[in-house]
Structure 1
Amino acid sequence: MKLTNIKLGAITLRVSDLNTMQAFYKEIIGMDVLDTRDGYVTLGTEMTPLVILHEVKDARPNRQAAGLFHFAILLPDRIELGRVLHHLISRHIEVGQGDHLVSEAFYLSDPEGNGIELYADRPRDQWSYEPNGHVKMSTDPVDYQSMLEAAADRPFTGLPSGTTMGHVHFKVRSLETARSFYADRLGFTVTTDSYPGALFLAADGYHHHVGTNVWARPSMPMGEEAGIEAWTLLVDAATNEALGGTTSEWSLTDSDGITVNIKSVD
């Protein structure tokens, strides 16, 4: 089955210090609190949840385990990304950067070490493709100065309406096993495998909804440690049924212990 007509929903993170993490996502990333209940805090923009924090007091990271490399928040356009960058600079937050040809991105980590990408896409008619149909991506310096200039008269007031979860990227033990799960089981299409040690997959002609890499060489699947608890795949009813869903919400876990919550949104 070829996966189509999908979106990504919120990512759930298992955290040990809920107050510190909530403050970070509000004050640094610019999210609003949408819901609080029983050790969970949902943050996002207006009615769009992006991150769910689940407090587990004794949770600690395990650097030898597979799991989250980063999750990626997609801004509506380059100017909005520039507004975020202005804000991060004003808060003295160090960021990494990458012009990926299809997008421009900045990288940081939250207080418990979860990787975050903030990015904006270039228009699809500016993307280039390899002879085999794979999208061309690279990691070049971002022209951040022109981005800051374009956003200079637009003070940051939080993540704007239209911000979504753009993609998720995982540390895995095997690219072959990742391909089997994300392509063969879930139906994502491989969009590029030219990066050494990485594999990118997507639906609907996107550059990638899922990234996987073996760069950290994890030696075990993830368990109950701090980090990703689940990510969310939003599908229509027909796709849900084709994937094997018998209810509107259900889950699958890959061999690295990474869980996807599949939700029908018809």
Structure 2
Amino acid sequence: MEEKFFKSPNTYIGRVKINVQDLKRSVQFYQDVIGLQILKQTKRNAHLTADGSSVLLTIEQPDFVKPIQASATGLYHFALLVPTRKDLAKVLHHLTKIGIRLGASDHLVSEALYLSDPDGNGIEIYTDRNSENWIWNQNRVKMAVDPLNTNDLLSELENSDGQGLPAHTKMGHIHLHVAELQTTQTFYEALGFEVVSRLGNQALFMSTGGYHHHLAFNMWKGVHAPSAPEDSAGLNAFSIIFPDNEKREIAAHLLDALDYPVIKDPEFYRTEDPSGNKVHLVVEKT
């Protein structure tokens, strides 16, 4: 993991908040299967951490919560970035040992495992290859969806000890279902992100600072797919972290000019992208 992509002067993804149908079930899953720890828990939500101090994921059980809406926009997956290939090998060993059904891909820039939580919220756990070996062509990074060589990955293990995600795990990126790509691109460009890859007219990848992607969007739920109800399982909100307040203010001004209202709460600014995904604009802590 290269820290430079997740600190000033870059803008990147912070904590993700999801809705679930059964908080107790989800807390157990994220502890026992994913390896996160509880930082704080109430009757309705739990804040989960890898390092014991910063929140990566908040899970919440709304009143009268509905299942994830199959045809709506929202979360495709959030992606937990582990520091080393050996860390990913430990995750693979653990998930295989407990019988979790997995997907796995080699994206050239990274190696990734995929699974879902009990509500169907998508999760990616991945590690990056050295950015010096990423292939760029005219500001576009080369990525692929090749089979992951799991045997080679597991050869990183010296033993099977160790459970839980390493303390330096980060929220590497988030991938969303959206209703339309061009308006989505315009919205997130106002926040400072640049297009780094496309998958035809179906998917779009954006980042700051030359990362392979902090954000991804697809239209696999269909063009003009509706927004998910607020009381359904799935994405509640996610945070975008700005390096300083000046850059956040510029972004807020640009969104206002595009007719996307920004509500300036003391803790963070709140807005919604064109597909109704809730976005919190946060300034990096120094």
In structure 2, the gaps of 5 or more residues are 1-7, 253-261
**Code of the aligned partner of 2:274:** S
C-alpha displacement of 1:8: 1.8
C-alpha displacement of 1:4: 4.5
Query: 37-46 or 60-69, which moves further after superposition?
Result: 37-46
SS of alignment partner, residue 28 of structure 1: helix
Alignment of 1:14 onto 2:19? yes
**Code of the aligned partner of 1:241:** E
**Code of the aligned partner of 2:114:** Y
Alignment of 1:50 onto 2:56? yes
Distance 1:38 1:10 in 2: 20
Distance 2:18 2:210 in 1: 28
**Code of the aligned partner of 2:275:** D
Distance 2:79 2:89 in 1: 16
Aligned to 1:98: 105
2:187 corresponds, among 181, 185, 189, to: 181
1:78 corresponds, among 76, 85, 90, to: 85
SS of alignment partner, residue 145 of structure 1: helix
Distance 1:101 1:151 in 2: 21
Distance 1:195 1:156 in 2: 41
Aligned to 1:239: 247
CA contact (8 A) 1:16 1:57 kept: no
Alignment of 1:202 onto 2:203? no
Alignment of 1:124 onto 2:131? yes
Distance 1:194 1:95 in 2: 23
Q: Structure 1 pair 136/254, CA: closer, same or farther in 2 (3 Å)?
A: same
Aligned to 1:155: 161
**Code of the aligned partner of 2:132:** D
CA contact (8 A) 1:223 1:257 kept: no
**Code of the aligned partner of 1:259:** K
C-alpha displacement of 1:173: 1.1
Distance 2:21 2:228 in 1: 16
**Code of the aligned partner of 1:265:** E
Aligned to 2:233: 226
In structure 1, the gaps of 5 or more residues are none
CA contact (8 A) 1:240 1:248 kept: no
CA contact (8 A) 1:97 1:106 kept: yes
TM-score w.r.t. length of structure 2: 0.87
SS of alignment partner, residue 34 of structure 2: coil
CA contact (8 A) 1:48 1:164 kept: no
Deviation >3 Å, runs of 4+: 245-248
Distance 1:195 1:111 in 2: 31
Alignment of 1:170 onto 2:189? no
SS of alignment partner, residue 81 of structure 1: helix
1:224-258, CA deviations, whole angstroms, 9 ceiling, x for partnerless residues? 12110001111122222222385551111012110
CA contact (8 A) 2:11 2:192 kept: no
What is the aligned-residue identity percentage? 35
1:71-129, CA deviations, whole angstroms, 9 ceiling, x for partnerless residues? 00000011000000000001100100110000000100000000000000000011001
C-alpha displacement of 1:222: 2.1
Backbone CA RMSD of aligned residues: 1.7
1:10-34, CA deviations, whole angstroms, 9 ceiling, x for partnerless residues? 1101111000000000000000001
